[in-house]
Structure 1
Amino acid sequence: MPRVCALLAPGLEEVECLSVVDILRRGGVETELVSVSGERVVTGSHRIAIVTDRLLEEADPAGYDLIFLPGGVPGVPNLEANPAVKTMLLEQERAGRRIGAICAAPSILGHYGLLSGKRFTCYPGWQEGINDAEWTGEGVVSSGRISTSRGLGFALDFGLELLRLLMGEESFQKVRRGIQHPGTI
């Protein structure tokens, strides 16, 4: 079974994170909420407290098929300010494993050079300064082993795309029908 690490920092966008995690778990993907703050409870940008499964220092970075970065402000700057997050992402890329980021979080990947030569999307404005990649403005984009999404309105579609990549078409379609996705009714 694939394993996913969702990295949570204070100020994250709660719905972007939990929608994606919910879709992955429905599809049978082992998905862990991992706090980068040193505290098990992470409070999002809308003051919703989330209890995580573990702290970053307890996680096995090599054990994840995908690392997922939710958006939100100040969540994204808090993720980017953590040197262990940068190390984890660069190792994930070197090992040829997947990375996903939504909303403002793809900017982190751009700053670390992980979007170089790739197509990507993010919340409009957060693509500024990422000159060696192609910003599409689409809702969800997968390019190589990097998947990105524009924002909250595309969170379910993003979760479904990650599920499709990790578990295949059958699991994707089953969950898509089960949640009454507009494309299935």
Structure 2
Amino acid sequence: MKTLSVLCLLAEGFEEIEALTPVDLLRRAECEVVLAAISENHEVRGKHGIVVKADDTLSQISALHADGKTDFDMLLIPGGPAVSQLRRDGRAAQLAAAYAKAGVWVAAICAGPTVLLDAGLLKGRRFTAHFSVKEELPETLGGERVVVDGNLITSRGPGTALDFGLALVQALMGPQKREEIAASIMA
């Protein structure tokens, strides 16, 4: 059986709980998760000063092949102040659009759905995001903690990171694996 793989984009100021909680849960589920820095520096400082060593830089990863296909099964976009860098950089929106077109899961939390907006993926879709970006988004945000619409998964913010991570596990591996991982972390 093929090991499922996730590409997680990191930029300076990423919200640590929104990146690391889903990454932890996905790795517990035995998914390969590649942490990719959008800068050329492998060390990426989060919003709260936690420095994470990325596995590689986005420019060094074969994130998208010339034929529009990818080796990854999911793109993960954490939120926080880093989202403004992701949006300025443009590669995150390009990847999100290409991955969504290829039928690959695209997941974003907090302000991350604004990258999906830039990619043209939110029109006519159900989604949620952090209230701080409500004015930028085309429709009224729902109150759900996590929304799955087709191959898009969105979530509200730091307080929903655990639910978001478990939803990612379920999307890739099914409800039984989600329950297994949830049970393994509950005391």
Name the TM tier (shorter chain): over 0.9
Q: Distance in 2 between matches of 1:92 and 1:78?
A: 20
Q: Which runs of 4+ in 1 moved over 3 A?
A: none
Map of 1:159-170 to 2, 5 A cutoff? 159-170=165-176
1:127 and 2:134 are equivalent in the alignment: yes
Q: TM-score, normalised by structure 2?
A: 0.91
Q: Distance in 2 between matches of 1:136 and 1:46?
A: 28
- What is the alpha-carbon root mean square deviation over aligned residues? 1.3
The structural deviation recorded for 1:13 is: 0.5
Tell me, yes or no, if the aligned pair for 2:92 and 2:115 is still in contact at 8 Å: no
Tell me, yes or no, if the aligned pair for 1:124 and 1:137 is still in contact at 8 Å: no
**Structure 1, unpaired ranges of 5+:** none
**Corresponding residue for residue 77 of structure 2:** 69
Which secondary structure does the structure 2 equivalent of 1:85 belong to?
A: helix
1:96 and 2:103 are equivalent in the alignment: yes
Q: Distance in 2 between matches of 1:63 and 1:57?
A: 15
Map of 1:2-151 to 2, 5 A cutoff? 2-61=4-63, 62-73=70-81, 75-131=82-138, 133=139, 135-151=141-157
Q: Distance in 1 between matches of 2:119 and 2:75?
A: 15
The structural deviation recorded for 1:129 is: 3.2
Q: Distance in 1 between matches of 2:116 and 2:162?
A: 21
**Structure 2, unpaired ranges of 5+:** 64-69
Q: Deviations over 1:20-74 (max 9, x none)?
A: 100000011111111001110000111111001011012122111110000011x
Give the letter for the 2:111 counterpart. Answer: A
